[in-house]
Each structure stands twice: as structure tokens, then as C-alpha cells.
């Protein structure tokens, strides 16, 4: 199962001595450089690809309510069950019976579709117009793609060793592309803290306390000339930033292959992801990212969403699966191997 949050203690600063984390209410933009500081949330029931219940990108408030009510939560059809506070559960005897344990107590993905600049959106993806990621039929990966959907639903998977587990189950990074690049909401912990200095922007993600520390430069040319060596394959990639008027622009390349193999926004070594941050209002930060990689996609594509200022604090995210679930799963797998070997003799 994915990691669950622990909501009873404050997350200690990860960057003491490097950046001063100052939490304050978001202020409206007063100059050319956007003020992104503060605590924000991008929680919503909108996904990257267009909802199967919608034909258009923008819908009315009533249509948005109807789509939200039908949107699956945690892969379980029917969304929230408003009667007893429990999601619609799998049928007894089904492959996923007893393993999908989420209910309303644990999940907090938001209660409505994403609101972006006053519009209800049925997908983050805005280009191409059909709202679908334009994957090539025969993409030229330079990493192995891995899908853990069946493992999540059934508990059945590869337990040969720790590396067979998904990153989120190992508590390495958050799931659902939470920290990006291409930062999107997920089942819970959709809270972020942004800190700006003269030379850096830091984005602290509540889930798994992931932190992106992005150096900023005077121009795109200077930023690109300051990239790290290619052998340094980091989580969240090699991100550099610069300001263009009232926007912060962040360009990312060379993301760790293991992250890319499990990402909903994969790119190869030749690809890049360009993020743009700006202030739309006192309480809304507009966020856009464009993915460029002809090895993977038939065209460049762009997604948009908004972050909203919140009075919530970032809490400790105590991801225990790597400490407790993994040893138990590995021990169980070894026991099954021993039994199989014994029966074969």
C-alpha cells in the first residue's frame, strides 16, 4: 500500500542553515518578480488526462459537481460513499478483496475538480486539445517503464529484493508525481511550502518531505550553462531557473531513471520539462508545465493547474512502509520460496 501520513507533529526544517523557512500568508504580486512564498495546496479531483465523464476542458459548476461525484478515489469506482464514510469496496472473493483498505478517514484528495483562473477543469492537460498525453505508439525509452497498478490493487507482485518494490513503497520519494517536475495532486498530503531567496527557490513537499532546491540565474543562457554533470542523476532532475517578467521559469533535465520508470511524466535523456510559476491573485498561484521529448511523445504537451494559499501547516509524513512493510514482505516471500523448494524435493 502507498505511504500514509502521520498528522500529529510538525515537520522539522530540512534546510536549517541553508535557507530560512518563513511561513506567512501569500501576498499579491507587487513587482516584476513573482512572490511565491508561503504554504499552498493543489488538492483536486482532476487528473492529468481528461475525465472520461467530460468532453470539454472547461465545465460549469453543476457539471463539475456531477463529475466529481463520479470520480474514482484511490482507484475505487464511485468516489466517496457519503453514507457510512467508507469507499465503495471490492466484491467479496474478488482479486482485490481485502487489500484496498482506503476509506474517507485516510484520503484527502480534495472535493471538487481543479479550479484554474476561475474555471473548473476536467484535466490538467490543456494541449493537445483532446486532453490525452500524446504517447508515441513505439516510444524510444532509455529506461524500463514499470507499472505497479496491479500490485497496488491486489498485493501480488515481485518480492525478489528491495529494488523490486516501487519507489513510494520504499519511502524514497512521494507517489503521484507529487514533487514533479510536473507537480500534481494525489490522494493526500497536497501541501507545499515555497521559499525564495535571491539565488534559490525551494519547494518543500509535505509527502515524504521531498524538497526541490532550484538555483536561479539572471538568464536562461546562464542557467543552462550552470547545469550539473550528466552522471549526477538526481531525484527530480537537474532543475535551473530564471525569471521572465512576472514568471519564474524552471527547466529540468536528467531526471533519475528509476524515478522516470515510475513517473506519469516520463522523459529520456534528450527530453526536458519546463515549468512556469506566476501569481494570478492574492490566493492563487498559476502553474504550467510543458513536456518536450520526441523519443516519447508525438508532440510537445502542456498541463496547467493552480496552487491556492492555505493556512494549513506542513506536518510530518512518517512513511513506515520502508521500515516495516518491506521486511515483512521480503520475509514472507523467502518463506514461500522455502516451502516451494521443500515440496519440490
Quick: pLDDT tens for 71-80: 877 655 555 4
* pLDDT band per the 50, 70, 90 thresholds, residue 21: very low
CB–CB of 305/184 below 8 Å? yes
220 conformational bin, left if phi > 0, alpha if psi -120 to 50, beta if neither: alpha
| 195 part of a folded domain | yes
Quick: pLDDT tens for 38-49: 999 999 999 999
pLDDT at 294 over 60: yes
| 263 part of a folded domain | yes
Query: Which domain does 104 fall in, by range?
Result: 40-344
How many CB atoms lie under 10 A from the CB of residue 23? 12
Return the H-helix or E-strand segment holding 332: helix 326-344
pLDDT at 321 over 70: no
Return the H-helix or E-strand segment holding 192: strand 191-196
Burial (0-12, 13-18, 19+ Cβ within 10 Å), 101: exposed
| 14 part of a folded domain | no
C-alpha cell at 334: 523467502
SS3 of 248, please? strand
Return the H-helix or E-strand segment holding 121: strand 119-121
pLDDT of residue 97: 54
- CB contact set of 78 (below 8 Å; sequence gap of 6+): 70, 72, 87, 88
pLDDT of residue 102: 54
- Please report the DSSP string for 274-336 in residue order: EEEEEEEETTEEEEEEEEE-TTTBSS-EEEEEEEEE-SPPPB-----IIIIIHHHHHHHHHHH
Report the domain count for the chain: 1
> Quick one: DSSP state of residue 143?
S
User: Strands 272-281 and 200-205: what pairing?
Assistant: unpaired
| 5 part of a folded domain | no
pLDDT at 224 over 80: yes
How many CB atoms lie under 10 A from the CB of residue 316? 15
Counting every residue written for the chain, the total comes to 345
Quick: pLDDT tens for 133-192: 999 998 888 777 777 777 766 677 888 888 888 888 888 898 889 999 999 998 889 999
pLDDT of residue 105: 63
SS3 of 5, please? coil
Per-residue pLDDT, averaged over 297-305, amounts to 97
* pLDDT band per the 50, 70, 90 thresholds, residue 318: confident
> Quick one: DSSP state of residue 183?
-
Per-residue pLDDT, averaged over 326-332, amounts to 87
| 120 part of a folded domain | yes
CB–CB of 55/130 below 8 Å? no
Percent of the chain predicted with pLDDT > 90: 55
CB–CB of 307/276 below 8 Å? no
SS3 of 135, please? strand
How big is the chain by its Cα radius of gyration, in Å? 21
- Between CA 316 and CA 20 the distance in angstroms is 18
Amino acid at each position: 500500500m502507498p505511504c500514509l501520513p502521520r498528522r500529529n507533529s510538525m515537520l522539522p526544517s530540512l534546510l536549517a542553515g541553508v535557507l530560512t523557512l518563513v511561513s506567512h500568508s501569500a501576498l499579491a504580486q507587487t513587482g516584476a518578480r513573482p512572490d511565491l512564498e508561503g504554504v499552498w495546496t493543489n488538492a483536486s479531483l482532476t487528473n492529468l488526462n481528461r475525465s472520461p465523464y467530460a468532453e470539454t476542458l472547461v465545465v460549469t459548476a453543476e457539471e463539475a459537481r456531477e463529475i466529481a461525484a463520479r470520480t474514482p478515489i484511490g482507484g475505487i469506482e464511485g468516489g466517496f460513499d457519503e453514507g457510512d464514510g467508507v469507499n465503495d469496496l471490492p466484491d467479496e472473493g474478488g482479486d482485490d478483496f481485502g487489500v484496498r483498505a482506503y476509506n474517507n478517514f485516510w484520503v484527502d484528495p480534495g472535493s471538487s475538480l481543479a479550479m484554474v483562473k476561475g474555471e473548473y477543469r476536467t484535466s490538467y492537460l490543456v494541449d493537445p486539445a483532446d486532453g490525452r498525453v500524446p504517447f508515441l505508439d513505439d516510444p524510444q525509452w532509455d529506461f524500463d517503464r514499470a507499472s505497479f497498478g496491479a500490485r497496488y490493487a491486489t498485493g501480488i507482485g515481485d518480492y525478489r529484493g528491495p529494488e523490486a518494490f516501487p519507489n513510494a513503497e520504499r519511502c524514497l520519494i512521494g507517489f503521484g508525481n507529487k514533487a514533479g517536475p510536473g507537480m500534481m495532486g494525489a490522494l493526500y498530503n497536497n501541501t507545499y511550502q515555497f521559499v525564495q531567496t535571491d539565488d534559490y527557490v525551494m519547494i518543500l513537499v509535505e509527502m515524504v518531505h521531498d524538497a526541490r532546491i532550484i538555483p536561479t540565474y539572471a538568464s536562461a543562457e546562464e542557467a543552462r550553462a550552470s547545469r550539473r554533470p550528466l552522471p549526477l542523476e538526481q531525484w527530480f532532475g537537474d532543475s535551473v531557473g530564471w525569471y521572465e517578467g512576472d514568471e519564474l521559469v524552471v527547466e529540468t533535465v536528467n531526471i533519475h531513471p528509476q524515478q522516470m520508470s515510475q513517473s506519469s511524466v516520463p522523459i529520456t535523456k534528450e527530453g526536458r520539462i519546463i515549468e512556469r510559476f506566476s501569481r494570478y491573485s492574492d490566493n492563487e498561484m498559476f502553474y504550467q508545465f510543458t513536456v518536450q521529448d520526441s523519443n516519447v511523445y508525438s508532440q510537445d504537451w502542456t498541463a496547467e493547474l493552480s496552487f491556492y494559499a492555505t493556512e494549513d501547516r506542513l506536518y510530518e509524513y512518517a512513511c513506515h512502509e520502508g521500515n516495516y512493510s518491506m521486511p515483512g514482505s521480503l520475509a514472507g516471500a523467502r518463506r514461500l520460496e522455502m516451502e516451494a523448494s521443500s515440496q519440490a524435493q
